[in-house]
């Protein structure tokens, strides 16, 4: 079974530039998450989708971050304009809907963003 | 809001020995799931073990086991017979309901585990 795919693996941009990350979840997973992991900290949820609808985006800095999940499969996360403090690893994860067995979140390898 | 606390930023263990990583959490819910994830340098979060709060029996997965103390809101991870491949960041996570039939994870800050040959 293919895992969660993310691209690119690394990105370096200058502040005030824009950047986009792409995620392809595991086939059949209705729930998709974007997490931000700053160096030395645990992942923090930015946005959660159920199919193509947003479940929770309370911690997404909406003045500069946006995300979409068209057709309820792939997702893109965009930052425009980027700030130095956006330097982090951006992790995408997906899971089946519900709370039973085998509904844990599976993670991609993340995109390491450096803003200079 | 749920919070997860890992009080040990770094730990080390001799190869083949046993180590315990600590985690405490705060919640007002009675039914929930707790997880330990491993994050090697490749950055991919890998599920190590899961505990359902309504189960009193501690979860075990091969060399990994937990000590779940619901009343104390404590969820520690024990790694037995430590191997070099166990070296990684370990994150404790609490899963809460976020609506629309889906759930989300709240992570601790992590513990960096080093294994000494």
- Quick: pLDDT tens for A36-57: 999 989 999 999 998 889 999 9
Average pLDDT (B47-76) is: 94
pLDDT of residue A1: 62
Name the residue among B45, B91, B102 with its Cβ closest to that of A55: B102
Residue A31 contacts B, CB cutoff 8 Å: yes
Question: Cis bond leading into A57, ω under 30°?
Answer: no
Q: Point out which residues pair with B11 in neighbouring strands.
A: B113
Residue A103's pLDDT band (cuts 50, 70, 90): confident
pLDDT of residue A48: 93
Question: Is-contact B69 B13, C-beta < 8 A?
Answer: no
Q: Is the pLDDT of residue A70 over 70?
A: yes
Q: Is the pLDDT of residue A102 over 80?
A: no
pLDDT of residue A104: 85
Cα–Cα distances in angstroms (integers) from residue B116 to residues A20, B48, B81, B91, in the given order: 40, 21, 12, 20
pLDDT of residue B93: 96
Which site among B3, B23, B32, B45 would you substitute to test the A interface, given the most A Cβ atoms closer than 10 Å to its Cβ? B45
pLDDT of residue A39: 92
Residue B40's pLDDT band (cuts 50, 70, 90): very high
| Angle, alpha carbons B53-B36-B1 (nearest 5°) | 60
CB contact under 8 A, B44 and A56: no
Q: Point out which residues pair with A46 in neighbouring strands.
A: none
Name the residue among B37, B91, B104 with its Cβ closest to that of A33: B104
CA distance B111 to B116: 16
Q: Which of A23-27, A75-79, B47-51, B98-102 has the lowest mean pLDDT?
A: B98-102
Q: What percent of chain A has pLDDT over 70?
A: 95
CB contact under 8 A, A43 and B105: yes
CA dihedral B91, B4, B7, A44 (to 10 degrees): 60
């Amino acid at each position: 079974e293919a895992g969660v795919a993310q691209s690119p693996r690394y990105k370096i941009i200058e502040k005030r530039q824009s950047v986009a990350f792409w995620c392809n979840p595991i086939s059949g997973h209705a729930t998709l998450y974007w997490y931000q992991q700053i160096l030395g900290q645990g992942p923090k949820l930015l946005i959660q989708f159920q199919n193509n609808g947003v479940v929770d985006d309370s911690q997404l800095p909406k003045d500069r971050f946006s995300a979409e999940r068209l057709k309820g499969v792939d997702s893109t996360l965009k930052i425009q304009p980027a700030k130095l403090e956006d330097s982090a690893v951006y992790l995408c994860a997906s899971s089946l809907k519900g709370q039973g067995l085998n509904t844990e979140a599976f993670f991609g390898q993340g995109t390491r963003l450096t803003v200079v | 809001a749920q919070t997860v606390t890992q009080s040990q930023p770094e730990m080390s263990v001799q190869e083949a020995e046993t180590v315990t990583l600590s985690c405490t959490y705060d919640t007002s819910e009675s039914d929930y799931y707790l997880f330990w994830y491993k994050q090697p340098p490749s950055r991919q979060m890998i599920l190590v073990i899961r505990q359902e709060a309504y189960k009193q029996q501690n979860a075990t997965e091969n060399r990994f086991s937990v000590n779940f103390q619901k009343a104390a809101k404590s969820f520690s991870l024990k790694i037995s017979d430590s191997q070099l491949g166990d070296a990684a960041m370990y994150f404790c996570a609490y899963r809460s309901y976020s609506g629309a039939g889906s759930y989300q994870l709240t992570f601790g800050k992590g513990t960096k585990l080093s294994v000494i040959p």
